[in-house]
Structure 1
Amino acid sequence: MSAVSSSNTAFALELFRTLSQADSVGNIFISPLSISSALAMVYLGAKGVTAAQMAQALSFSSGEGVHADFQKLNADINSPSASYILKLANRLYGENTAHFLPDFLEATQKYYQADLKTVDFIGAPEACRAAINSWVEQQTENKIKDLLKPGTVDTDTRLALVNAVYFKGNWKNPFKEANTKEMPFKIKQNETVPVQMMYQRKKLPYNYIADHDLQILELPYVGEELSMFILLPKESSDGSGPLLKLEKELTQERLNEWTDR
């Protein structure tokens, strides 16, 4: 695992922990790599105390070639594969009357393949928002629409750093559509909703962690280069929140150990 992959995982877990504490009721769906990629481009233009604080928040160790590592990671992610589609796209949208340092623009292009698109934030912020959303939609095969909600850019916006991730893969062990059936899905201690659940009976990579009463299932994609991991803590009869315990105690080392075949 490269230094930047390690940093990204540490940041992802910390971010997830922070968000789950802030929003204890709702579901959370995030792409930590998108966030760390965009913030790494910001970090590229930061100096002094700001740079030091960003490095700390993003778990970057100071003085390392963070951006060269990101360049390699981006290249690895975007390298063509016969068994899946995975791509990461970055772009800068800058106010056309603002002056950005050429060194910064050259570096974002070199390390993040992010070109600068000049737009009129001052005169037409809504049109700029629509243009950014349209680019993201295009990069994600029309899956992510309206990334930026109304009001997220305005006449004071000078620079928007945008990242889009797209993935499409087929399961190594596909779920048969005929086996999908309606089953109860528990959303709270005493509340369930009926949902369409996929079903298969198969021998798959699995782990049980007794300390956390935790089941871990690996669902590999075709080619087995990539997998989805599902972590399911057993619900306690007293409702004492095993998920909260897991969220608090999840570390990179534990995750690596638990998902090691």
Structure 2
Amino acid sequence: MEDLYEANGSFAINLLKMLGEEDSSRNVFFSPLSISSALAMVFMGAKGNTATQMSQALCLNRGGYIHQDFRSLLTEVNKSGTQYLLRTANRLFGEKTCDFLPAFRESCRQFYAAELEELSFAEDSEECRRRINDWVAQKTEGKISEILGAGAVDPLTKLVLVNAIYFKGKWNEQFDRKHTRGMPFKINQVGKYFSGCTANFLLFFFF
């Protein structure tokens, strides 16, 4: 587990640097664990140069118990009985005419609790987009209702891998409501927003 902790920490720092390159003054909020666990599923099915490059990008040691450690980590993250609510969920949406290896499907289920749901992107990609958005909305308690904008998938799409994370908790030191104001918050690249409250504070989160 220690190797995975170190790898995820290095991956988080590298990704944060990349996200801040375009505009170092903007806010950046992301979950490195969501991204690394999703990519680890792709890595599980990769071979040759692709596998080598992915292990380097994820800062992983290919000789370790990578997927077993991810399972233990995700179990710990999703534990109950805490003073906050934190849930992660993974799912694969695959084109129903594709023949996904049973071993890959079983490994995704075993290590990442990720089922592969078969959809028909070739016949109705828009309906598939709505189905994926509905799943994300359900897992995020309606906070994210349209993760995929129009045209994000098409009849040539073969596999969509989705990770959702939901967090709800109270601040240890709550800020004064009179110092907050409602502002739009952008949740995807096509300009979808939801209204929320903002306050001035500095945050660093590494999940």
TM-score interval, smaller chain = 0.7 to 0.9
Equivalent position of 1:129 in the other structure: 129
Q: Report the CA distance between 1:94 and its aligned residue.
A: 0.6
| More displaced stretch, 114-123 vs 147-156 | 147-156
SS of the residue corresponding to residue 21 of structure 2 reads helix
What's the TM-score, normalizing by structure 2?
A: 0.84
Q: Report the CA distance between 1:26 and its aligned residue.
A: 4.5
Equivalent position of 1:6 in the other structure: 6
Identical aligned residues as a percent: 46
SS of the residue corresponding to residue 97 of structure 2 reads coil
Equivalent position of 2:148 in the other structure: 148
Distance 1:180 1:160, change over 3 A: same
Q: Report the CA distance between 1:23 and its aligned residue.
A: 4.2
SS of the residue corresponding to residue 39 of structure 1 reads helix
The residue correspondences of 1:48-197 to structure 2 (distance < 5 A) are: 48-177=48-177, 179-180=178-179, 197=199
Instruction: Give the alignment's Cα RMSD to 1 decimal.
Output: 2.3
Q: Which has the higher strand share?
A: 1
One-letter code aligned to 1:141? E
> Which structure is larger by alpha-carbon Rg, 1 or 2?
1
- Give the unaligned 5+ runs of structure 1: 183-194, 200-216, 218-227, 231-254, 256-261
Q: Give the ranges of 4+ consecutive aligned residues of structure 1 lying more than 4 Å apart after TM superposition.
A: 23-26
One-letter code aligned to 1:180? H
Distance 1:161 1:170, change over 3 A: same
Q: Report the CA distance between 1:82 and its aligned residue.
A: 3.5
Equivalent position of 2:22 in the other structure: 22
SS of the residue corresponding to residue 89 of structure 1 reads strand
Greater length-normalized contact order (CA 8 Å, ≥ 6 residues apart): 2
- Give the unaligned 5+ runs of structure 2: 182-196
SS of the residue corresponding to residue 36 of structure 1 reads helix
Q: Report the CA distance between 1:27 and its aligned residue.
A: 3.8
What's the TM-score, normalizing by structure 1?
A: 0.67
